[in-house]
Amino acid sequence: MEKTISCIVIDDEQLARQFVIEYLDDFEQIDIIAESGKASEAIKLINEKKPDLIFLDVQMPGKDGFEVLENIKHEPFVIFCTAYDKYAIKAFEKNTIDYLLKPLDKTRFDKAVGKAIERIKNNDKNFERLIDEISQQQSQNFSPNLFVQKSEKLVNLPVSNIICLEASGDYTIISSATDQFVSSAGISKLAIKLDPALFIRIHRSTIININHLQELEKHSNGGLSVVMNNKKAYSVSRSYAKAIREMIV
């Protein structure tokens, strides 16, 4: 018997939720376990019911769809459904299967759900081990140096000297112990060049080098901050906290 995929539909417009639910009738393996029109309620539902998949609108009253993802502990796969295409690039940073524009096209919708089913079906231990093996192989091929611009020159920056990368609009600020550099490449593009065993994303806009991580600060609300060797502190978003928490013994 094929694995049932649990799903929550989140949109502040009831009619939009109905369209998604009706379109999902064609997929017997999708089990809609809840729906919600409020971001705060959606966060609670996701954390309690731990769905495999969510359909998520971007613009909603209170928190938007991205803030929903920032505030959940459970991390489902996501299909965005929105009337706005300007958020598409931002949407594909984490666990996003697809980005559908309203009014929903049934053929496009079915294709997105098909991708979701395939991704979720293959997200077992064997698949994760394969990814780990690939990551280990790739980690041996990362360049130990980056050339970054400083005034009119290109400076050879050893990757080991990088403490932190911070997104700033379309640019990325790269901090070392002694200097800062501005790269015209986006932070996700730069992340591909860096060994994920050493460079950990702690926020959509922040990547740190764990070799320069000095200490962790726990907050009363359960949140975390990292303090780096340069004495700068950065908040860890809940979506990326797992990698940091796994270091705690």
Whether a cis peptide bond, with omega within 30° of 0, leads into 158 is no
pLDDT at 136: 53
Q: 145-245: which CATH topology?
A: OB fold (Dihydrolipoamide Acetyltransferase, E2P) (2.40.50)
Per-domain boundaries in the chain: 5-123, 145-245
Among 3.10.290.10, 3.10.20.30, 3.40.50.2300, 3.40.50.150, name the CATH number for the domain at 5-123.
3.40.50.2300
Mean of the per-residue pLDDT values of the chain: 84
Mean pLDDT of 241-245: 78
Mean pLDDT of 11-15: 94
**pLDDT level of residue 21 (50, 70, 90 thresholds):** very high
pLDDT at 125: 39
196 secondary structure, DSSP code: T
65 secondary structure, DSSP code: H
pLDDT at 9: 97
pLDDT digits 0-9 by tens, 190-227 = 888 888 888 999 998 999 999 999 998 888 887 889 99
Indicate yes or no: pTM above 0.85: no
pLDDT at 2: 66
- φ, ψ of residue 43 to 5 degrees: the values are -60, -45
- φ, ψ of residue 57 to 5 degrees: the values are -80, 155
pLDDT at 249: 64
Is the fold of 5-123 the same as that of 145-245? no
pLDDT at 127: 43
- Give the C-alpha separation, 197 to 126, whole Å: 20
Region class of 125: left (phi > 0), else alpha (psi between -120 and 50), else beta: alpha
Q: Is the pLDDT of residue 93 over 80?
A: no
